[in-house]
Chain A
Amino acid sequence: MIAQPLTVLNTRRAPRPRLGVFKFASCDGCQLSLLDCEDELLAVADRVEIAFFREATRRPLEGSFDVSLVEGSVSAPEQEAEIRDVRARSRFLITLGACASHGGIQALRNFSRVDDALAIVYATPETISTLPSSRPASDYVHVDLELPGCPINKRQLLSVLAQMLSGGKPRIDQHALCLDCKRQNVVCVLVAHGSPCLGPVTSTGCGVLCPSYDRPCFSCFGPAPQPNTASLAERFQAIGLSADHIRRLFQMFYNQAPEFLEEARRHE
């Protein structure tokens, strides 16, 4: 299915586009980013009808949606049908965050046997029904746009909504984080302090949270396009990181991203 932009330039006319917010296996952080929009939320509510959002309203799930925002990974058996149902009801499906696009932190369990993981975490593992792995929405349905981040950046979400509401095809920047460091005059922590920063292989979006505070990037926004992870890993080795340390760096928020999976494997 090819998504159509929401051509609603003349917004004062009813009906407003219907927006749904759906939660799968997640910590709610991405939805909270939406609630955290506060001032802008009123503007959103003015332009779109928030037709389903369990975290914010009691309205029951019914009808179809012009835009659906999906948070969380598919992790439990019933969620496989749920994600298909959301897709069927939606013109434009946007995933929010690392869980929905790559399985998230909980996908670390994909590296072990699920029964072993259950036994460690739950007192009565036999009462838990779960899938063997944590999977992205795109394993089940077509996704129109994936917003990266753990959690997402609310500015990026608002920008996507604003672009759609102006009738444009939504796009988000995808360059390496380093570009933002330099635009914001942040001194490089890798060059100036020898900190193992993942910024060169990480997608923009966070607003340079960590390097602004002299901390290396942990790649909360996942791989940038065509990340040269091998060259960066070699640099990490040269500044004294162990293979195990390097493997762990690539096995964090985006542990299932193919480029990071592969790099981590090289340091096992």
Chain B
Amino acid sequence: MVNTSAVVMEKSELGNLIARLWAEGYTVVGPTLAQGAIVFDELRTADQLPIGWTDEQEPGSYRLKRRDDGAYFGYAVGPHSWKKYLFPARLTLFSIERTADSFAVHQGSTDVPRYAFLGVRSCDLHAIAVQDRTFLHGPYVDPHYERRRERAFIIAVQCGTAASTCFCASMNTGPRATQGFDLALTELPEAFVVEVGSERGGALLVGLNVRAANGEIEAAHQVTETTKRQMTRTLDTSDMPALLYENLDHARWDDVAGRCLSCTNCTMVCPTCFCHSVDEVPDLLGERSERVRQWDSCFNPELSHVAGGSTRPDIRARYRQWLTHKLASWIDQFGVSGCVGCGRCITWCPVGIDLTEEVAAIRGSDRA
């Protein structure tokens, strides 16, 4: 159900909300058009949003299309996820400098932006919660993630359209966002219904032009109900993790290995994948060295390269590692599935490999 502390905000007021966040010291980031896709970048004004645009997504294909209305959020998730801000693709952890008789260590910058994420979908709220378990709730806390995460202000958007690749309903991660946000917007034809999810969310609304909601609450509820009915893709998780563990030698792994490019795209766009490599980058003069952390992937043969060779020497081993980790051993490791059903890996796989199909094929001829 929709939060009863919901209010109604005119669409034209969204610009003021963005301005207010900037005024309070937030760096506002959210969806905008670039390079033929809806990506995340800094937003100074509401008209930088992809107003009147939508996306058509299929396995291995993404196309922007015009909508026949002026919807602000009439599209599904794009190639970027919020991990680009919380878990940056490249980060200098620290540097070491030679001194006269020893060396000095300089910490990487701790001066990180206070982000306000505008337009976080339900699947992505769940994805952030999944990464929280990895970076914050295990035996070791990642200070870089923690610093960014604890300061982030989250404005969710309730999904009004699903892409053909979405399957959050199967993963119990959407389409309705129920927690983990400061504010949540539902877009109606004429206005936004704004749910308040935290005290600071409520505080931000003070002074903005909003009014009490009446019939709009039911209308907002219907938005996500309709989206849920639109969703065509499904993933049956009833027998996970056992299904994959019992089929480690299934012929389907050879089949998918014939198609998979081991290109890493699926892991890069996945909002929960956290693999990274840490390298020492010395300068030419031997005076300084930086320790750099970068996104990496189980599809990169180098990631599993240890003394003597690679532990996952071929594409079959790498694809199987990815899928079994994502859907099965993640549950053993973190208590939740590593997949939130956002569909990004399906759309952004250059050859359109669809994990829901791979799982269905394995299930279809279980222990073949």
What is the interface of chain A, defined by CB distance below 8 A to chain B? Answer: 9, 11, 40, 43-44, 46-47, 158-159, 161-163, 165-166, 168, 173-176, 178-179, 182-188, 190-194, 197, 199-201, 214, 225-228, 230-232, 234-235
Contact = CB atoms under 8 A, between A and B. Distances in A.
Contacts of B284: 40, 43-44, 47, 158, 161-162, 165
Contact of A201 (B261, B269, B297, B302): B261
A187 B261 contact: no
19 contacts: A43-B285, A158-B284, A162-B283, A166-B286, A173-B302, A174-B302, A175-B300, A178-B264, A179-B297, A185-B39, A191-B348, A192-B36, A200-B265, A200-B350, A201-B261, A214-B35, A228-B262, A231-B258, A231-B261
A173 B352 CA distance: 26
A179 B300 contact: yes
B36 A176 contact: no
B356 interface: no
B268 A179 contact: yes
A194 B61 contact: yes
A161 B285 CA distance: 10
Contacts, number: 137
Given A166-B286, A173-B302, A187 B34 contact: yes
B182 to A, nearest CB: 25
A193 B39 CA distance: 15
A183 B264 CA distance: 11
Contacts of A185: 39, 80, 84, 89
Interface string B290-314: 0000111101111000000000001
A227 B348 CA distance: 18
A11 B286 contact: yes
A226 B254 CA distance: 15
A48 B321 CA distance: 44
Contacts of A201: 261
A9 B62 CA distance: 51
Interface string B72-94: 00000001100010000110000
B156 interface: no
Nearest to A211: B35
A226 B35 contact: no
B211 interface: no
Contacts of B283: 43, 162
Contacts of B62: 188, 191-192
Contacts of B268: 178-179, 182-183
